Chains A and B, each alone.
Chain A
Amino acid sequence: MPLRMKINGEARELELDTRTTLLDALREHLQLTGTKKGCDHGQCGACTVIVNGERINSCLSLAVQHEGDEITTIEGLGTPGDLHPMQAAFVKHDGYQCGYCTPGQICSAVSVLKEIRNGVPSHVTDDLAGDIGLSNIELRERMSGNICRCGAYSNIAEAMTEVAEA
């Protein structure tokens, strides 16, 4: 099927088998290999990308569901010479070890801060009527869909805290 999407600000046209996931379209057809395939079943979060401003698991979405959508991958957040603040904070706080989950962690982390700003509550938000704080437990709960086998969680939370308070 023909498909048009805007990826990292650039209009792209593809011809894809209906079975192609958004993840495989990015990696195999557009060579945007920053987004990683971990479990391929929505359990690990390595494939997290931002679609129309919201983070999703790109492995659990068919590319054809995204006709006309705006997709931001890790390549679109920042570049080696011009890091996104969250990328810079991950480097500063050592928010990774092997790095495989990192693109998904960063796309998720950027989205989490936006979700808090937008007033989306979480499982650990005490008061559904009040402002949502940026506590460590609040950040950790919201990042539970991103698994890090190296266990960099505490440093990831510190990086997010720094960006949130900047």
Chain B
Amino acid sequence: MRSFTYERARTPAEAASAVATMRGAKFLAGGTNLLDLMKLEIEAPSHLVDVQDLDFGEIADTDDGGIRIGAMVSNTMLSAHPRVRRDYAVLTRAIQAGASGQLRNKATTAGNLLQRTRCSYFYDTNMPCNKRRPGDGCSAIGGSSRQLGVIGISDSCIATYPGDMAVAMRVLDAVVETVTPDGSTRSIPIADFHRLWGDTPQEETVLERGELITAVTLPRPRGGKHFYHKVRDRRSYAFALVSVAAVIQDDQTGQVAFGGVAPKPWRVPEAEELLPQGAAAVVSRAFAEARPTDQNKFKIPLAERTLAGIIADARS
């Protein structure tokens, strides 16, 4: 691990300013992903700004009937919160489908949104990777791609956003709240938060340098039945091959997003309008522009079957 200096921020403005002005500085929240990558020197910050003392640890009701989740709320606390279990069960299900108990206790809400891809070539520093070293080339294209993306990918990168929590937040229309180094605040709909890779796969979100996530808000509950079905190589503690988050109403309408397939939680409004017609219609529209490899083309029928299972459960 490269050496670095360390500070604990006392205010959000101080944290944002420190990361904006110090070359090589990064925020540190739970650290479960960052420290893993620092050990491999994939991440090599020269300075860490620990934000654990900021007042971001609460879940509170909002005036419009939703909830506001502090950026430092742990995955465990969020998934176990009584209102989340009752009103946003898809979020509890998604979080509990990811990682291990130890990691969920330390991992934070903001950190989970910012976790980096698990593409094996991103992790293998002996191999070219445009995300690690822009312009280096992509080893995954033409390489081992079974786990990787089928849609929203580019000629520079075919990695996926690996998380589960954000896929549920996508169907709930979450909003990411931030503070910028100049002290202003911003509300970013989660649909716009993660970028598609394009020619710059090293840029994974729309956050600017020094912009700090303070909270994630969820709008008022939309009722319905909540599902998060995740298909993976092991039954526990593995990343998704395909996951499906859905909220389905009695009239069969609803929201649906797919994980494990794209650089961001994949939700296509025109596709989910087809929910009453069944899984084949939805998936055929949602994945119309898919560019899978021979190794990962199975993900599209797998997504259809996973959604079909959810629709059947919703009707029963």
Contacts and interface: CB of A to CB of B under 8 A. Distances in A.
A61 B4 CA distance: 15
B103 A62 contact: no
A121 to B, nearest CB: 6
Interface stretch (A74-82, A92-100, A138-146, A154-162): A138-146
Given A123-B96, A129-B86, A108 B35 contact: no
A145 B6 contact: no
B3 interface: yes
B76 interface: yes
B223 to A, nearest CB: 15
A151 interface: no
Contacts of B100: 42, 45, 144-146
Nearest to A17: B3
A130 B103 CA distance: 25
A91 B1 CA distance: 38
A41 B34 CA distance: 11
A18 B46 CA distance: 11
- Interface size bucket, B side? 35 or more
Interface residues of A, number: 40
B237 interface: yes
B102 A120 contact: no
Residues of A contacting B: mostly: loop
Interface in A1-53: 1, 17-19, 21, 40-42, 45, 48
Interface of A: 1, 17-19, 21, 40-42, 45, 48, 54-57, 60-62, 64-65, 67, 108, 111-112, 115, 118-123, 125, 128-129, 140-146
Interface of B: 1, 3-6, 8, 28, 31-32, 35-36, 39, 48, 50, 52, 76, 79-80, 85-86, 89, 92-93, 96-97, 99-103, 105-106, 234, 236-237
